Structure 1
Amino acid sequence: MEAIKDYTVHIDSKKRITLRGALYQYYNVKEYENGCIILEPRELSIPKGISANSLKDMDRAIENFKMGDVSSAIDLSDF
């Protein structure tokens, strides 16, 4: 496979590099022991809906709440 871009970068004081003309906003990073770093583009998407299992869990949680089957209150006064 032939490289489309070939340039040198340096790490800034916060250990970051800048990708010139990046095509994507998000990348998955894999770093290997030999120093190689692989960037794979990721596109975040909005889910089309809530799964049936999630809806079932929410219904069960509301039923427990209505029956009074809940954990003790958490004290947040320290925050």
Structure 2
Amino acid sequence: MEALKDYTAHIDAKKRITLRGARYDYYNVREYENGCIILEPRELKRPDSISVATLRTMDESIKNLDAGKVSDPIDLSAFMG
């Protein structure tokens, strides 16, 4: 694969690097012992649906509630106006 850009970057006084013309706002960063750094773009967005694992956890929580497996009530009055 051919590089789209090839330039030298330096770390500023606050230990930051600037990416010129970055296409994304967020990147996952992986740094290796040999000095290589891999940046993978991340797009933060709301999922279209609730995951199967989340739905399973919700079902288990409701079963526990129905079975009376609950903690003692928490007093939230300190947070009310």
Closer, same or farther in 2 for the Cα pair 1:56/1:38, shift >3 Å?
Answer: closer
Q: Provide closer, same or farther for how the CA distance between residues 44 and 15 of structure 1 changes in structure 2, counting only shifts above 3 A.
A: same
Aligned pair count? Answer: 77
**1-structure distance, mates of 2:52, 2:35:** 43
Return the offset for 1:17: 0.6
TM-score scaled to structure 1, two decimals? 0.66
Q: Residues 67 and 39 of structure 1: is their aligned pair in 2 closer, same or farther, counting only changes over 3 Å?
A: same
Q: Distance in 1 between matches of 2:55 and 2:21?
A: 42
In structure 1, runs of 5+ residues without a counterpart are: none
Secondary structure of the 1:65 match is helix
1:20-51, Cα deviation, whole Å (9 max, x unpaired): 10011222222121211121222234222113
- TM-score of the superposition, structure 2-length normalised? 0.65
Q: Percent identity?
A: 68
How many Å apart are 1:64 and its aligned residue? 2.3
